[in-house]
Structure 1
Amino acid sequence: MKKIINDPADVVAESLRGLALAHGDVLRVQEDPALVIRADAPVEGKVAVISGGGSGHEPLHGGFVGTGMLHAAVPGAVFTSPTPDAVEAAVAATAGPAGALLIVKNYTGDVLNFETAAELAEAEGTPVRSVVIDDDVAVKDSTYTAGRRGVGGTVLLEKITGAAAERGDSLDDVETLARKVIGQVRSIGVALTAPTVPHAGTPSFDLADDEIEFGIGIHGEPGRERIPLESADALVARLVTAIVEDLPFASGDEVLLFTNSMGATPLVELYLAHGIAEKLLAERGITVTRRLVGPYITSLEMQGISLTLLKLDAELTALWDAPVNTPALRWGI
């Protein structure tokens, strides 16, 4: 294992300290429990949008804390859900009478711990709503998961709900909008190599040089199938087909296309894949009107990509375009 780390047990804490030093203009970090909090939180009269989960997927979630996106992120250990008390602390630090929306990726630990935290916060008098995102079309059944996993669509959900909260929408309205996004976003990913969790020291799984894992999860979970390495044209076509036929997306739809690096895929390959995806969607009559390309929800140093499609309308487009100022996304400010 070659990593730029000290003690594997301190990786998350030391990384969060660096995040705070690099981006102290937009966020602050609390260490016990570990929280990343918007610098001006709590924001009076605004719904607090909070998310979190295991570390190792940076910039998700801490890199999306700031104006127009998350009010707080709750980082667990690498690939490990944060505890209920940490989530409750995030609610207490950011939410006022307007309440809080919790965005939860569909993993058993995350769902249970965020649910417990919501109950604790509500018992203290704070209105809390939770939404669970499950955009991964790779999961055809739930034999090894609790249903579909929350993956790339989480980034888009956090941006759009954060923009709605910023403009002053009520908790009811922000929750309704979140459920709309969840219903219209789909993702799938592929891995060429496995990630190595620092405290484990060895890759999460083995792949031969001529194999890829199609439909991988962001923690190295099994995909739909292990297939021979193929050309970019064939691989992206496989990804696009899986997404488009799931919702389904149709000719005439306008979409946001998010082409994501899983951590180690260089931009030269990422843009190549994005170009192929746009061409394939155009051939289906699907118009890409908004785009995001880069490493925004990663799996440590996994080499691979994921594609995410969100069906847009005027409201969702306006909220996506709204100003945002976070370490990882910044425009309009």
Structure 2
Amino acid sequence: MTIYTETFMYQNSTSNIPEFVLQGFPGIPAEYYRLVGTFFFFIYLMLASGNIFVLVFVACEKNLQKPTYIIFCNLAISDLGFGTTTLPRIIAKYWMSEIMSFNGCFTQMYFVHYFGTCTSFLMALMALDRFVAICNPLRYPVLITHSTIVILCSGLWIGNLLVLGAITAYALSVPYCGPNIIRQCYCDHISITNLACADIRALRATSTAIAMAVLWGPLFYIIFSYVAIIISVMKISNKEGRYKTFLTCTPQLFIICLYYLPRSFVYVASIIGIRFETNLYIAMIMMYSLFPALINPLIYCFRTKEIKDTLMKKLKQRQVKVNRKGILT
């Protein structure tokens, strides 16, 4: 392991360092590394199995193959992708080695922000789906079709692929000659570009503007759409009808709150100059990065009526088959 210092940086400011060192949580003693790695291993198992279950379940149930659930599946793919991009490397940091190659770190950075950006826009697409369904229900079958959602999701994935490619190429264009310690559990744009030995004010301004647009652009649309939804729902004279309509929005609202509120808090705190202790800061980032991806499948299964009803129907059918086998034997 080579840790490059500030002195080395000024001696050689034109070549890139060959590797980065992932610091992770600095307050954890080395004897607890295997325990921490095991904790993240189980987190990854739960995240992966939950999102794969959603994908397989929706794919196998024809009555769930609707535009809303296509968006859910895209969100599950994004969550699974983000978890697979980050967690195995975090586990490896605590079980094996904290060293990450230069190219490997930039590759991880690319996919971390790619899946994060896709998730943000998928949230906005979920809000659009609910907005049309509640505020303009008669036109919903015309406006929100399988082909429309597939085109929007495809454009979202491809567009972000290109945008993040440009941002990564811009970050790669500046020299990195030391220090080489990533003060995080995985490689992200801020952690890497903070180590550049060049003037990165233009890079920082560009990346900050794009990050704000990715986070708050969809969020402002989501707020607008749900204000319109609430106004529309309040006009329903039937109390039970209002309750059922609100119930259809509950899973999406919970997912949106999990994703946007912690991120917005950390972003605003950073802008106004609030600084957190390193371990607390990393813990907050890990929480808002991984917790939504971990909890989303539970929300789909237990808070979305159609999925819950279909799942309960399957379980009852299985129970009946087991009982019949018992009687026959």
TM over 0.5: no
The structure with more strand, counted as a fraction of residues: 1
Higher relative contact order (CA 8 A, sep 6+): 2
Q: Judging by fraction of residues, say which structure has more helix.
A: 2
TM-score, normalising length from structure 2? 0.30
TM-score (norm 1): 0.30
